[in-house]
Amino acid sequence: MAIDPLTIDSLTIAHLPLPIAHCPFAIIFAQYYMKQFNVPITYRSRLISAIKNKRRSQDKLKKDFTPTFLDFGRLQIYLARHFGFCYGVENAIEISFRTIDENPGKRIFLLSEMIHNPVVNDDLKKRGVQFLMDTHGNLLIDFNTLTSDDIVIIPAFGTTLDVEKKLKSIGIKIEKYNTTCPFVEKVWNRAEAIAAKDYTIIIHGKPKHEETRATFSHSASNAPTVIVNDMDETIALSKYITGEKPLHLFYEEFKDKYSEGFNAEKDLQRIGVVNQTTMLASDTQAIADYLRQIILIKYNLTEENIEERFADTRDTLCYATYENQSAVYGLLNSDADLAIVVGGYNSSNTSHLVELCEEKLPTYFIDSADRILSKNKILHYDFHNKTELETDNFFPDKSAVKILITSGASCPDAVVEDVINKLLFYLEVNKTAEEKITEFA
């Protein structure tokens, strides 16, 4: 299949057949020629736009993951090379706000949170949009109250086949207002492709996350499917493959994580791994490698005939997840006092950025500048225990404080600029973030 680098974009790349969709050439050009979206100007930051444009022009192949250094004297910031809105998020925001503008007087519903960011979701609510379900799939509004005249927007995470069927039965045209990220759809397509070759699908994802629930639904319609949340669950699953555990225990240990009719005796003999697109790349790779080795040993296979039992499923992370995580690795090479990660508290991709930073230095996960309460106090989120913490004296007593900053793929750049300005204010630096724009002209 011929690829024209002057016309390919990231929507195209999401639907390219394997192995073309994963070749470096295609991915590079897909990102470089990315579509520009019309999202509310209030989500933009003049400074951060200038920085991103400058870095993009200097590094068109996106090989440089070193951070951008912002020297404000007493405050020194290392800003991640990649962060903020991705293709899927901007696409979802553009469709949502356009739908509101084009349908005055109509009832407009979001199936659940558009993306995992409180700023965007609150803005949509202020525009009159109502949420049908919470992030766990619990109904907030009875579907029976909907009519065929109503508009229902499918969020970027996608949704289950069951929900699609219910909405269609009411007469709601979901395909017209479907903002499912093409990189999520790509995972569904990958699962369908290996299901057609009689492999069972192993999904690396968070079972309660909207995207994983949607991926599970689509996958289970084509093949036996089971979800593993982490390496511990992967190791537990492997023991049913090897026979170390009696198969009847599988159904209790993986309750609510396997598809209807799953037969542990035969459905774990041929497997392939796909993932929730926002998981840690290293974790997904480790899980796939581990299960591959288990299959190799169990069936006495060689590298040449491994595909008899293990599908060739290369990483299904989206480009933004890969870039943002790689940028954090580059960020962590900087000598700093602390890290601040900005994003929605229920954002999976953001929590993984926090996880990476926590391994190196004190890290504070906040969803807005308002969480920085004073020079001596910050209110931040512990995603491990799902609680907010208040930390005193988080600024070190130094003449120059060095801070690493990044944000999740659903966080507006304007929120990151607000955080920078709040830091400047509390450190008594008589400057604003915008004063740095000229350095990136």
Active site residue 211: yes
Of the candidates 113, 210, 211, 417, the residue annotated as catalytic is 211
Three-state secondary structure string covering the chain: CCCCCCCCCHHHHHCCCCCHHHCHHHHHHHHHCCCCCCCCHHHCCHHHHHHHHHHHHHCCCCCCCCCEEEECCCEEEEECCCCCCCHHHHHHHHHHHHHHHHCCCCCEEECCCCCCCHHHHHHHHHCCCEECECCCCCECCCHHHCCCCCEEEECCCCCCHHHHHHHHHHCCCHHHHECCCHHHHHHHHHHHHHHCCCCEEEEECCCCCHHHHHHHHHHHCCCCEEEECCHHHHHHHHHHHHCCCCHHHHHHHCCCCECCCCCCCCCCCCEEEEECCCCCHHHHHHHHHHHHHHHHHHCCCCCCCHHHCECCCCCCCCHHHHHHHHHHHHHCCCCCCEEEEECCCCCHHHHHHHHHHHCCCCEEEECCHHHEEECCEEEEEECCCCEEEEEECCCCCCCCEEEEEEECCCCCHHHHHHHHHHHHHHCCCCCCHHHHHHHHC
Which residues form the catalytic set? Answer: 211
